[in-house]
Amino acid sequence: MANLKEIRNRIASVSSTMQITSAMKMVSAAKLKKAQDAITAMRPYADKLTELLQNLSANLDADGGSRYAEAREVKKVLVVSISSNRGLCGAFNSNIVKQSVALTQEKYAGKQVDFVTIGKKANDLLRKRFTIVSNHNTIFDDLSFEAVAQIAEALMQRFAEGQYDRIDLVYNHFKNAATQKVMTEQFLPIQPPAERVAPSVDYLYEPSEVEIVSQLIPKALKTQLYKAIRDSFASEHGARMTAMHKATDNASELRDQLKLTYNKARQAAITNEILEIVGGAEALAG
Domains for the chain: give ranges and CATH numbers. Answer: 22-192+203-243 (3.40.1380.10)
Predicted TM-score (pTM) of the model is 0.85
Cβ neighbours of residue 120 closer than 8 Å, sequence gap 6 or more: 83, 84, 85, 86, 137
Q: Kindly list the distances between the CA atom of residue 280 and the CA atoms of 70, 268, 273, in Å, as whole numbers in the listed order.
A: 96, 18, 10
Evaluate whether 170 touches 184 at the Cβ level (below 8 Å): yes
pLDDT tens track, the chain, 286 positions: 568 889 999 999 999 999 999 999 999 999 999 999 999 899 888 888 877 766 665 555 544 446 788 888 999 999 999 999 999 999 999 999 999 999 999 999 999 999 999 999 999 999 999 999 999 999 998 899 999 999 999 999 999 999 999 999 999 999 988 889 999 999 998 876 666 555 555 667 777 777 777 788 899 899 999 999 999 999 999 999 999 999 999 999 999 999 999 998 888 888 888 888 887 777 777 6
Helix, strand, coil shares of the chain, percent, nearest 5, are 60, 15, 25
Cis amide bond preceding 207, omega within 30: yes
Evaluate whether 50 touches 186 at the Cβ level (below 8 Å): no
